[in-house]
Amino acid sequence: MFNVFPLSKQGGPSRFEDEKEQESDSDAIKEMPEIPNETKKETKYEKEINKKMTPFLVAARNGIVEMVNEILIKIPSAIHNTNSRKENVLHVAVKYRQPLIVETLRSIYKHSKPELWNNLILAVDVEENTVLHLAAEALGGDKPCQIAGAALQMMWDIKWFQV
């Protein structure tokens, strides 16, 4: 690991006392090979990090029902938040398998504001996926099982499909 500050700022010898040492440090930095862009691989999680995710959408993604409720009480217009992929809160909750968030939103909006609930359900993202597309995608095998055992996993998938 190389220090980026000169030795004089670190409390070491001044610049004039040990000029050879600094030159060798700068030569060592120049000799380090550059990593090509192809070898820098982003993990799946890093790709999913979204700069436009609001705290409301992050709470829905992580299944924090209390925070979702508080944000909706304080800022009712937060229900219209979308990320850069144009996914609303219901899309995010379904995509990340958060049934408590879906149930909470349904209990709040289905009877009091049915037009808003219908808009959340019928909304499409950038790839024109609806909530049903994302629910089917969430049932795919690429995500780790939340429940051990094939039979229990199948029961969970059936219950999630019914929701």
Determine the Cα–Cα distance for residues 1 and 97; give it in Å rounded to an integer. 42
Determine the Cα–Cα distance for residues 123 and 131; give it in Å rounded to an integer. 8
pLDDT of residue 39: 40
pLDDT of residue 29: 47
Tell me, rounded to whole angstroms, the distance of Cα 17 from its chain centroid.
51
pLDDT of residue 1: 46
The stretches in the chain having pLDDT less than 50 are 1-2, 15, 21, 26, 28-30, 32-33, 35-42, 46
Task: Classify 53-162 by CATH class.
Answer: mainly alpha
> What interhelical angle do 99-109 and 65-74 show, nearest 10?
30
pLDDT of residue 151: 77
pLDDT of residue 77: 94
Q: Name the DSSP class of 33.
A: P
In terms of residues, how long is the chain? 163
pLDDT of residue 12: 52
